Amino acid sequence: MIENNRTHDVFDAIADPTRRRLIRLLAEAEELPLHALTPHFQMGRTAVSKHLAILKAAGLVADRKVGRETRYRLNAGPLEEVQHWLACYSKFWSANLSRLHEILEEDFKPVVGHRFQFRTKPTEFWNGVIEGEVLVVEEPTRLSYTWSSGETHTIT
């Protein structure tokens, strides 16, 4: 199995945005040669080839020769390690998103001019109150409001 022969860490391999884009391109296609991948980047074939070599060393890319051409395809199996790692945090996100939903239902209304407060546990440096006002509502694409806990910011 390819995953057992990996020489590079999957997390290191996907840390680079170029390699993540290569993974996406290969996921969308069954198989692609280097000359079809290179135009998607502002770098030469040699640089793209080096990125593919790192993905291959991590077990994320397999290649095969067809005549003089090398064709690359995605091996998504090693990404399962990333998925398992992220799954540990799903409980965190679920709990926090549920709490945010509750807070928003308490006092927030997407109506221009509506003033609202979010409250959280105070600290010795902050009273735990965030004041806000809805400035713009253009459903479903734009929401703008102020956010103040001492200093006022506008979020759009």
Peptide bond connecting 140 to the previous residue in cis, omega within 30 degrees of 0? yes
The neighbouring-strand residues paired with 144 are 136
E strand or H helix at 17: helix 17-28
Q: What percent of the chain has pLDDT over 70?
A: 92
Closest CA to 127 of 119, 116, 135, 139: 119
Residue whose pair of structure tokens reads 């407060």 in the numeric block = 117
Whether 51 contacts 18, CB under 8 Å? yes
Show Cβ contacts of residue 85 under 8 Å, excluding neighbours closer than 6 positions: 11
Q: What is the pLDDT of residues 16-25, one digit of tens each?
A: 999 999 999 9
- Indicate the pLDDT class of residue 3, thresholds 50, 70 and 90: very low
Q: Which domains does the chain have, with CATH numbers?
A: 2-84 (1.10.10.10), 99-155 (no CATH)
Is the pLDDT assigned to residue 2 strictly greater than 60? no
Angle at 94 between CA 121 and CA 114, to 5 degrees: 55
The residue-averaged pLDDT of 34-49 equals 96
Q: What percent of the chain has pLDDT over 90?
A: 54
**CA dihedral over 119, 94, 92, 133, signed as positive or negative:** negative
Whole-number Å distance between alpha carbons of 130 and 45: 51
How long is the chain? Answer: 156
Ranges 18-32, 90-104, 128-142, most confident: 18-32
Angle at 14 between CA 9 and CA 18, to 5 degrees: 135
Q: What is the pLDDT of residues 69-81, one digit of tens each?
A: 999 999 999 999 9
Two structure tokens written together for 104 = 């928003």
